[in-house]
Chains A and B, each alone.
Chain A
Amino acid sequence: METPTRFDLDHAVTTWRRQLTAQPGLTPADVAELEMHLREAFAELHRGGLREAEAFLLARHRVGPPALIAEEFAKAEPMRYWRHCLVWAAGGALFANLWQSTLNAWTQTAGELFLNNLPGEIPAPWSWLLAVGLYLLFFGLPLFVLAKWVLRSRLFASVGHPSRWRLAAAGLLLIASVEGLQWWAVQLLNRSTQAGTQEVVTAAMGSDLGYSKGPLMTMLSGLHAGIDTGYGVAQTVQFFLNALWPFCLLALLVWLLPRRESATNTVVT
Chain B
Amino acid sequence: MLAKDLVAASARPLILSVLAEGESYGYALARRVRELSAEQIDWADGMLYPVLRRLEGESLIASEWREEENGRERRYYKLTMDGRRALKAEKAQWLVVHNTLSQLWKLQPASI
Q: Is the CB of B44 within 8 A of A73?
A: no
Complex CA distance for A73 and B62, rounded to whole angstroms? 17
> Residue B64 contacts which of A62, A72, A75, A262 (CB distance < 8 angstroms)?
A262
Query: Which residues from 244 to 261 on chain A have a C-beta closer than 8 Å to any C-beta of chain B?
Result: 261
- Known A-B contacts A64-B46, A68-B46; the reply to A266 vs B64 at CB < 8 A is yes
In this assembly, does B85 line the interface, its C-beta being within 8 Å of a C-beta of chain A? no
Q: Summarize A's interface: helix, strand, loop or mixed.
A: helix
Shortest CB–CB separation between residue B12 and chain A, in angstroms? 12
Closest to A59 in B: B45
The 4 A-B residue pairs with the shortest CB-CB distance, nearest first, are A64-B44, A69-B46, A64-B46, A262-B65
Residue from B31, B46, B64 with most neighbouring chain A CB atoms (10 Å): B46
Chain B residues within 8 Å of A73, by CB: 49-50, 53
Chain B residues 1-50 with CB under 8 Å of chain A are 25-27, 30-31, 44-47, 49-50
List residues 52-98 of chain B with CB under 8 A from any CB of chain A: 53-54, 56-57, 62-65, 72-76, 78, 80
- Contact between B53 and A76, CB atoms less than 8 A apart: yes
Q: Are B72 and A36 closer than 8 Å at their CB atoms?
A: yes
Stretch of A26-34, A93-101, A128-136, A163-171 with 4 or more beta carbons under 8 angstroms from chain B: A26-34
Contacts of A36 in B (CB 8 A): 25-27, 72-75
Contact A40-B27, Cβ < 8 Å, known A68-B44, A73-B53: yes
B47 and A64 contact, CB distance less than 8 A: yes
Other-chain contact of B62, A30, A37, A265 (Cβ < 8 Å) = A265
Task: Determine whether the beta carbon of A76 is less than 8 Å from that of B26.
Answer: no
Contact A261 B49, CB 8 Å, known A36-B72, A267-B78: no
Cross-chain pairs A/B with CB under 8 angstroms, 8 sampled: A29-B75, A36-B73, A37-B27, A68-B47, A76-B50, A262-B75, A265-B56, A269-B80
The interface of chain A, by Cβ under 8 A from chain B, is: 29-30, 32-34, 36-37, 40-41, 44, 62-66, 68-69, 72-73, 75-77, 261-262, 265-269
Complex-state Cα separation, A68 to B4, whole angstroms: 14
The distance from the CB of B93 to the nearest CB of chain A, in whole angstroms, is 21
Chain B residues near A268 (CB-CB < 8 A): 62
Q: Once bound together, how far apart are the Cα atoms of A269 and B25, in whole Å?
A: 18
B51 touches A76 (CB 8 A): yes
If A73-B53, A76-B50 touch, does A267 touch B44 (CB 8 Å cutoff)? no
B25: A residues at CB distance < 8 A: 36
With A265-B56, A266-B64 already in contact, the answer to whether A34 and B78 are too (CB < 8 A) is no
Partner of A72, one of B30, B46, B72: B46
Please indicate the chain A residues that have their CB under 8 angstroms from the CB of B46 in the complex: 34, 37, 63-66, 68-69, 72
Specify the chain A residue showing the minimal Cβ separation from B70: A39
Q: How far is A72 from B50 in the complex, measured between Cα atoms in Å?
A: 6
Give the CA-CA distance A265 to B63 in the complex, in Å: 6
- Cβ of A62 and Cβ of B49 under 8 Å apart? no
Residues in chain A near residue B73, CB distance under 8 A: 32, 36, 262
Determine how close the nearest CB of chain A comes to the CB of B38; give it in whole angstroms. Answer: 16
Chain A residue contacts of B75, Cβ below 8 A: 29, 33, 36, 262
Contact, CB under 8 Å: B50 / A267: no
Least CB distance from A30 to B in Å reads 7
A63 CA to B30 CA in the complex, in Å? 10
Q: How distant is B49 from chain A, measured CB to nearest CB, in Å?
A: 6
A236 to B41, CA, bound (A): 65
Known: A37-B26, A265-B56. A75 touches B50 (CB 8 A): yes
**Chain A residues with CB below 8 A from B44, complex form:** 62-65, 68-69
